[in-house]
Structure 1
Amino acid sequence: MTEATERFFASLSARAPAVLRGLAHGTLQIDLGTGNQTEHWLVRMRPGAVEVNRNRGPADAIWYSSAELFDRLIAGEAQAIAAVLRNESTFSGNVVLFLSFRRFFPDPPGTRDPREVARRAAGRLG
């Protein structure tokens, strides 16, 4: 497992109050594969809080990703939903947990909030 992955999971509990405000309530098992080895992370989520450990289930949902793809996700170089749709990773179970967890990933470099872009454009026109 990479140091970046370790730091990412260690940061979740501190970031949870800002990220998890909605319907997320349950356990997501994240399986990260490298070759024929799989590392497990169990993430228990509830609004405003996360608990992380290195155990396996029971879980309400399971997400499998290669460790290489996960490193790209935590760097903002890939998008979780796109990876699942392209079959680069797999997901089963409570989709709300997956959708909530993906909010912990950063936006791609150079991404701007469209509302801010619109405000700036309106300011130049007025």
Structure 2
Amino acid sequence: MTEATERFFESLPARAPEILRGLVSGTLQIELSSGNRTEHWRVQMQPGAIEVSRHRGPADAIWYSSEDLFDRLVTGRAQGISAVLRNECTFSGNVVLFLAFRRFFPNPPGTRDPREVAREQAGRLP
């Protein structure tokens, strides 16, 4: 398990009030594999709160990923939906939980909000 992934999971409870504002509620089991070893993360989400544990248990959705891909996701070098569509990882269960969880991942380095760019461009008009 990389340090970036460990820090990512540790940061979730503090970031949840800002990110989980909707009515999302449920448990996401994340299975991260590397060779013959699998790390288990259980993420319980509810509006404004999240609980993280390293135990397996009943879940509304399960996400299977390699440790390498997950490390790229938590550092902004990969995008969750793109990874699923390219079949780099798999997901089963309540897709709303995956869509909510992916909002915790950072944007790629150098990414800017298009509204910010438009405001800058508008400010440069004669």
What TM-score results when the alignment is normalised by the length of structure 2? Answer: 0.97
Distance across 2 between alignment mates of 1:97 and 1:23: 11
The corresponding residue for 2:20 is 20
Structure 2 stretches lacking a partner, 5+ long: none
- Residue in 2 that maps onto 1:96: 96
Alpha-carbon displacement from aligned partner over 1:82-108 (angstroms, at most 9, x marks no partner):
000000000000011000000000000
- Alpha-carbon RMSD across the aligned residues, in angstroms, is 0.8
Shift of 1:3: 1.6
SS in 1 for 2:124: helix
Aligned partner of 1:49 in structure 2 is: 49
> In structure 2, what is the equivalent of residue 71 of structure 1?
71
- Structure 1 stretch displaced more, 116-125 or 25-34: 116-125
How do 1:106-121 residues align onto structure 2 when only pairs under 5 Å count? 106-121=106-121
Contact conserved, 1:23 with 1:96, CA < 8 A, in 2?
no
Distance 2:24 2:74 in 1: 20
Per the TM alignment, residue 23 of structure 1 is displaced from its structure 2 partner at its CA by 2.9
State the alpha-carbon separation in 1 of the partners of residues 39 and 57 from structure 2.
13
The residue matched to 1:125 in structure 2 has which SS?
coil
C-alpha displacement of 1:4: 1.4
What is the alpha-carbon distance in structure 1 between the residues aligned to residue 24 and residue 98 of structure 2?
9
Segments of 4+ moved more than 2 angstroms: none
How many residues are paired up? 126
CA contact (8 A) 1:9 1:52 kept: yes
List runs of 5+ in structure 1 lacking aligned partners: none
Which residue in 1 is equivalent to 2:11? 11
Write the letter of the residue equivalent to 1:5: T
